[in-house]
Every structure is written in structure tokens, then in C-alpha cells.
């Protein structure tokens, strides 16, 4: 029987992986993994201009007019990813490769256009079925179409599993197109009507021939030998002395974080009181970098919350972590519901936002040189570490979109580039929410000074990032 392929996207793990389970069932456990890295990781960020009709149903348009239209939408000075974020992914991919080897099979790490790479690999291995589980946003849907098209040419098929969430899409008491407009309505419905499934065990995998494993190792080695990846690894490893939380990509590190934050320190039991923190290791779970690569799954975190509640304590804080994971689910379903509108300036509400494209003001915001100390401290932390607390994200987003009146999509693109936990639905959904074009029924504006007084009353955060008048250093 020919092997099946598991095309990893944001699911860099073997356990609790519905696509892997399906791939293994289809081939008596003979599965090979593949990851495709971008050819040009540091290409400019482009504001998506989705086609008006037939979105995601045609292979990508590569005509010159499409390229010209894309050039007009470049976000000035912003790349699609930063070396640090790419390095974080590489760390997770390294561990994933070892997991495949230990299971007796192999992971191919390729580089280029998935529409060409995946069908070519499938042909080389005699594969008929490719399984994958992306967060199906615009780019991913286009990739799926291109890959399905390429596979069909030699009789192969692509099987897409919608499984990046805690709640299974099939278990929702409504169709994705009828996703409630407001989070609290979503939460009420799913809490009443849905159960969270147990995480799936890793399926047993068949030992693959030594020749195949050697070929995979050689291809992977050749892909990763490029200096661009060495640079990214170095960026992910660099630690700034001001950094309060250092994060290494990969499943074992995500599981170690759960062990520490849940079981060794019991921080989860105080989370509701601490979650608005700005400084330190433990005010929130810090699980988002591993959730975004899929090194750990939200269902695994939910199972750990349940276990903690049975074995230690169940309180408002343990519930609140689950509540935040529901927010994550909501935005994953949201991007599937709204498709191209998730990325449009007018958002899902179709409102006209303040949309200045003042490049100098935007670059001051990115660099942390606006002159507003609380905003600048946050933006310096983001640029230096790739991390930012939820409280700081809300403030800087509100400031850019509402106070400075700059195109919120530029801010979302900067976050996408810089955040090591970038996740398409949570990022673009939260940006729309804060910018007042998304699903916030209250449409609030954060008052920066009041927020600084409340959450950084002693100025420690601003001092650390060199934005207070009494700062010891500036970056
Ligand atoms: C403008 C803006 C952009 C954001 N961009 C991203 C992003 O790209 N990736 C991302 O994972 N989160 C994003 N968030 C949500 C949130 O800020 C982060 O998930 C959180 O700060 C991560 O830290 P943590 O893991 O310690 O979270 P915790 O507070 O410990 O929460 C646990 C988990 O719940 C989920 N979660 C928490 N808050 C939210 C939220 N508001 N929306 C969706 N999921 C949530 C995350 O998966 C998080 O890891 C954004 C928020 C804002 C306001």
C-alpha cells in the first residue's frame, strides 16, 4: 500500500492531530510528514485584495496585473514575517522531525510554492492521498486549491481537516456561516450545547523503508542549509536582558510550560487576578507561541485544565483560561466565516474606519518613538522580543487605529510580522475588534494615560523599556 502524506501547517505535532489520524487510517499507518517553508520569507507584507467572487475556488492568479495590484497594497517597511518568528517555527519543526524519526518515519522539509512542491513529492513517493489541517484563512485556502489541482493531475486527492480549534467545527450547534456576530452569544451557545472532545492519541505509524528516510533527511538538510534559516535560528535564540519570558519553539517546551504554570507553581489558580500583567513570567499562561504553531493543541490544554480542576482546584481562574481558549476558537471560526472581509479596511461591519496611511507616524509607532511612553514601551518590547501581553496589545492597537487614526490593517500586518505567536484569526479578529470595524458591540477607545496609571502605576514597565523620563537607558 502506498504511504499517505501529512502536510503540516499550523499543527506541528503528532499527538491530537486529526489529519494524521485520518492519514494513518487510510494507509495502515504508512504516513510521511511534510512541511513547506516559504521561498521568500521576508517578502513585503501585502494587504490582501481578494477576488470579489469565487474566492478560494481557483488556483492562484499569477498574472502581471495581479502582481501590479499587489504592489499597490504593500505595507511600507513591513515583511510578512520577522527572522525571530521564522526561527520560532524552525525550532518547532526540528522537534517535529525528531518525533517523526522516533516513530520510524520521516519529515520532509521543503521550500517553495506548496502548489508545486506537494504534488511533486506525492508523485515521487507514489502517494495518492495528502491530508492537511490548516487554519483555513485566505492564503491557506488558495494553497489548498493549488495543491488539490496539482494532485488531481495524477489522480491524487487532498483531504482537508478543519481541526485547529478546541471545539470541533462539526460539533457546533450552528453552521460556520451562521457564527454569532458577538462573542458572548457564541460562548453561551457552545457552553450549553457542545462538549470538548478528548485529545486524540498519536496513531501507530508503520516503519518506513530506510531509503525513504535517508532521502527525507537529505532533502531536509539541503533545504535548511540556506543561510536565511541560520539567521532566523540565531534571531530566535537571541535574548535581550530586558526580556521577562524566554520562549523556545517545539512541543517539549510547550509541555514544560504547562507543567510549570499549572502544576509546579499553581499560577493557573490565580490567573483571573494576574492576567492583565505587563511584566514577569507568569501573569498569563504564555502558551500562545506553542498554540500558534500547533506544537500543542487547544484540546490538550483544555484536558489539562479539567485534570487540574479535578486534582487541585476549580475556581474562576481555571474557568477563565478555558474562556480565553473559547476566544481563540471564536476567531478561528470567525476568519472562516468572513473570509476576505476579515482583511478589509471596513471590516465585517462594513464601517468606514479612520484610515490614514501616514508612513512617518506608522513607523514611529512600529519603532516605539511616538512620544507616548506607555505605547512606546510596548512597541519596543514587541520589536525586541516578538512578545506582548494582551493588555499592551489592546492599548497599542487602539492607539494606532483610534487615536492616531492610521489604517488598522498596517498595524495588523506589523503584528503578523513581529509576533512569535501570530495566528491569523486571533490577530486580524482582535484588530478589527479594537479598531471598531469588527465584533465589539461597545466600540471602545482606550485612554492611554488612564491605562498606564492603572496597569503600570509605578512606571516599572515604561522604565524597563526606556520610555520614562527617569529611564536608565534607551534601546
Ligand atoms: C490587537 C491584538 C492582536 C492579537 N494577536 C494575536 C495573535 O496573533 N495570536 C494570538 O494567539 N493571540 C493574539 N491576540 C490575543 C491575545 O493577546 C494573546 O492570545 C495573548 O496575549 C497570548 O498570551 P498568553 O498565551 O499568555 O494568553 P493567556 O491569557 O494565558 O490565554 C490563553 C490562551 O487563550 C487564547 N487567547 C487569549 N486571549 C485571546 C484573545 N483576545 N483572542 C484570541 N485568543 C485569545 C490564546 O490562545 C492564549 O494562549 C491578540 C490580541 C490583540 C488585542
CB-count burial class (<10 Å; 0-12, 13-18, 19+) for 40? exposed
- Take residue 262 and report the three cell numbers written for it: 499549572
Centroid of ligand 1 to alpha carbon of 104 (angstroms): 35
- Take residue 286 and report the three cell numbers written for it: 504564555
Residue 107 — φ and ψ, nearest 5°?
-120, 125
Residue nearest to atom 38 of ligand 1 (CA): 324
Ligand 1: which of 421, 437, 455 to mutate, judged by most atoms within 8 Å of the beta carbon? 421
Nearest to 424 by CA among 222, 153, 120, 165: 165
What ranges do the domains of the chain cover?
Answer: 344-464
**Distances in Å between the alpha carbon of 283 and those of 109, 253, 302, 452?**
36, 18, 19, 17
Residue nearest to atom 29 of ligand 1 (CA): 284
Predicted local distance difference test score (pLDDT) of residue 68: 53
Q: Between β-strands 31-37 and 157-160, what pairing exists: parallel, antiparallel or unpaired?
A: unpaired
Distance CA 120, CA 139 (A): 20
Ligand 1: which of 82, 186, 289, 328 to mutate, judged by most atoms within 8 Å of the beta carbon? 328
How would you write the pLDDT of the chain (475 residues) with one tens digit per residue?
A: 889 999 999 999 999 999 999 999 999 999 999 999 999 999 999 986 544 433 444 444 445 555 555 556 899 999 999 999 999 999 999 999 999 999 999 999 999 999 999 999 999 999 999 999 988 788 899 999 999 999 999 999 999 998 899 999 999 999 999 999 999 999 999 999 999 999 999 999 999 999 999 999 999 999 999 999 999 999 999 999 999 899 999 999 999 999 999 999 999 999 999 999 999 999 999 999 999 999 999 999 999 999 999 999 999 999 999 999 999 999 999 999 999 999 999 999 988 877 899 999 999 999 999 999 999 999 999 999 999 999 999 999 999 999 999 999 999 999 999 999 999 999 999 999 999 999 877 778 899 999 999 999 999 999 999 987 554 433 3
Distance CA 432, CA 411 (A): 11
| Bridge partners, 132 (sequence order) | 7, 160
Residue nearest to atom 50 of ligand 1 (CA): 427
- Using the atom order of ligand 1, give the atom closest to the CA of residue 285: 30
Look at the alpha carbons of 210, 216, 218, 220 in this order and tell me if their dihedral is positive or negative.
negative
Q: Is the CB of 327 under 6 A from ligand 1?
A: yes
- Using the atom order of ligand 1, give the atom closest to the CA of residue 419: 8
Q: Which superfamily is assigned to 344-464 in CATH?
A: DNA Cyclobutane Dipyrimidine Photolyase, subunit A, domain 3 (1.10.579.10)
Ligand 1: which of 342, 430, 432, 446 to mutate, judged by most atoms within 8 Å of the beta carbon? 430
Distance CA 321, CA 135 (A): 21
Q: Is the CB of 272 under 6 A from ligand 1?
A: no
Distance CA 421, CA 406 (A): 24
User: Quick count: other Cβ atoms within 10 Å of Cβ 461?
Assistant: 25
Distance CA 338, CA 151 (A): 28
Give the single-character DSSP code of 4.
Answer: E
Residue nearest to atom 36 of ligand 1 (CA): 324
- At 348-359, the pLDDT tens digits run 998 887 789 999
Predicted local distance difference test score (pLDDT) of residue 440: 77
Predicted local distance difference test score (pLDDT) of residue 72: 65
Q: Is 108 within 8 Å of 396 (Cβ atoms)?
A: no
Centroid of ligand 1 to alpha carbon of 390 (angstroms): 6
Centroid of ligand 1 to alpha carbon of 463 (angstroms): 25
For the whole prediction, is pTM greater than 0.85?
yes
**Distances in Å between the alpha carbon of 69 and those of 7, 43, 48?**
30, 16, 10
| Bridge partners, 46 (sequence order) | 74
| Bridge partners, 160 (sequence order) | 132
Amino acid at each position: 500500500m502506498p504511504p499517505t502524506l501529512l502536510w503540516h501547517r499550523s499543527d506541528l505535532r503528532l499527538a491530537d492531530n486529526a489529519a494524521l489520524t485520518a492519514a494513518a487510517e487510510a494507509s495502515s499507518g504508512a504516513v510521511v510528514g511534510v512541511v513547506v517553508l516559504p521561498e521568500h520569507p521576508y517578502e513585503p507584507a501585502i494587504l490582501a485584495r481578494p477576488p470579489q467572487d469565487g474566492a478560494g475556488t481557483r488556483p492562484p492568479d499569477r498574472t502581471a496585473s495581479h502582481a501590479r495590484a499587489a504592489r499597490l497594497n504593500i505595507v511600507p517597511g513591513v515583511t510578512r514575517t520577522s527572522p525571530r518568528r521564522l526561527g520560532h517555527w524552525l525550532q518547532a519543526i526540528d522537534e517535529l522531525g525528531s518525533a517523526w524519526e522516533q516513530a520510524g518515519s520521516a519529515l520532509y522539509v521543503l521550500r517553495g510554492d506548496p502548489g508545486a512542491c506537494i504534488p511533486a513529492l506525492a508523485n515521487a513517493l507514489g502517494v495518492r492521498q495528502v491530508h492537511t489541517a490548516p487554519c483555513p484563512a485566505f492564503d491557506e485556502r488558495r494553497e489548498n486549491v493549488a495543491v488539490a489541482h496539482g494532485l488531481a493531475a495524477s489522480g491524487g486527492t487532498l483531504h482537508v481537516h478543519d481541526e485547529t480549534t478546541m471545539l470541533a467545527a462539526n460539533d457546533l450547534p450552528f453552521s460556520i456561516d451562521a457564527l454569532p456576530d458577538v462573542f458572548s452569544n457564541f460562548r453561551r451557545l457552545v457552553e450549553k450545547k457542545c462538549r470538548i472532545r478528548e485529545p486524540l492519541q498519536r496513531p501507530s505509524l508503520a516503519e518506513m523503508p530506510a531509503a525513504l528516510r535517508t532521502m527525507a533527511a537529505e532533502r531536509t538538510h539541503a533545504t535548511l542549509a540556506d543561510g536565511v534559516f541560520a539567521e532566523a535560528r540565531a534571531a530566535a535564540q537571541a535574548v535581550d536582558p530586558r526580556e521577562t519570558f524566554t520562549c523556545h519553539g517545539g512541543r517539549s517546551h510547550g509541555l514544560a510550560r504547562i507543567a510549570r504554570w499549572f502544576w509546579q507553581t499553581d499560577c493557573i489558580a490565580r490567573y483571573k487576578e494576574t492576567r492583565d500583567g505587563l511584566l514577569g513570567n507568569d501573569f498569563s499562561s504564555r502558551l500562545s507561541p506553542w498554540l500558534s504553531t500547533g506544537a500543542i493543541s487547544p484540546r490538550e490544554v483544555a484536558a489539562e485544565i479539567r485534570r487540574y480542576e479535578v486534582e487541585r482546584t476549580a475556581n474562576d481562574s481555571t474557568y477563565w483560561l478555558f474562556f480565553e481558549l473559547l476566544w481563540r476558537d471564536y476567531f478561528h471560526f470567525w476568519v472562516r466565516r468572513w473570509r476576505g472581509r476579515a482583511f478589509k479596511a471596513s471590516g465585517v461591519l462594513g464601517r468606514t474606519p479612520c484610515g490614514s496611511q501616514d508612513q512617518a507616524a506608522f513607523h514611529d509607532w512600529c519603532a516605539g518613538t511616538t512620544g507616548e511612553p506607555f505605547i512606546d514601551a510596548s512597541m519596543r518590547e514587541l520589536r525586541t522580543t516578538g512578545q506582548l501581553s494582551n493588555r499592551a496589545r489592546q492599548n497599542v492597537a487602539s492607539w494606532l487605529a483610534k487615536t492616531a487614526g492610521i489604517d488598522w490593517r498596517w498595524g495588523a500586518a506589523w503584528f503578523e510580522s513581529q509576533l512569535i505567536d501570530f495566528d491569523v484569526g486571533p490577530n486580524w479578529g482582535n484588530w478589527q475588534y479594537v479598531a471598531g470595524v469588527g465584533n465589539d458591540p461597545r466600540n471602545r477607545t482606550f485612554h492611554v494615560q488612564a491605562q498606564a496609571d492603572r496597569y503600570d502605576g509605578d512606571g516599572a514597565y515604561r522604565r524597563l523599556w526606556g520610555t520614562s523620563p527617569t529611564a536608565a537607558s534607551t534601546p
